[in-house]
Amino acid sequence: MFLGTHTPRLDDKGRLFLPAKYRDELAGGVVVTRGQERCLFVFTRAAFDQRAQELQSASLTSRNARDYGRMFFSSASDETPDKQGRITIPARLRTYAGLDRDCVVIGANTRLEIWDVEAWAAYEAAQEQAFADQDDEVLL
């Protein structure tokens, strides 16, 4: 399970340090792909494989499933952290998420998410009241 908020920076080569506390778990490789709300999803390979299995079980006649799968898989990139725990974020994904230098990496249970620092601050501020107002229906 991935938790917390981390604030790494992209270097000039588009590399990002993964949170130190998760480096061992991620050392075997990750898959980075387009997320929703203009962030990037970072899955372990096992978690990505599980997500792929779920999407394979969706009906090919479902337009929503086809559309989602196309966006999800076409932007996916296998990355292996270097000895310092950095991964390269492909230029296309950096552009999609608006990543320049300052980033926020959040733990989102089964994945990490990479956000532009300003986009995350805006999202977090917009969601704060809705989060506070939630009742048990979210957990059902």
Average per-residue pLDDT for the chain = 94
The C-alpha atoms of residue 131 and residue 129 are separated, in whole angstroms, by 5
Tokens linked to 37? 């709300």
57-106 residue pLDDT tens = 998 899 999 999 999 999 999 999 999 999 999 999 999 999 999 999 99
> What is the average per-residue pLDDT within 22-36?
96
**How far is it, in rounded angstroms, from Cα 32 to Cα 90?**
9
Residue found under tokens 């320049």: 100
Please report the sign of the dihedral spanned by the C-alpha atoms of residue 25, residue 57, residue 76, residue 38: negative
Q: Quick one: pLDDT band at residue 139, thresholds 50, 70, 90? A: low
Give the CA distances from residue 71 to residues 14, 18, 19, 137, in Å, rounded to whole numbers and listed in that order. Answer: 22, 24, 26, 29
Phi, psi of 9 (to 5 degrees): -120, 145
What is the fold, at CATH topology level, of the domain defined by 5-139?
Chemotaxis protein chec (3.40.1550)
Domain residue limits, the chain = 5-139
* Dihedral sign from CA coordinates of 65, 66, 69, 71: negative
The whole model's pTM is what?
A: 0.92
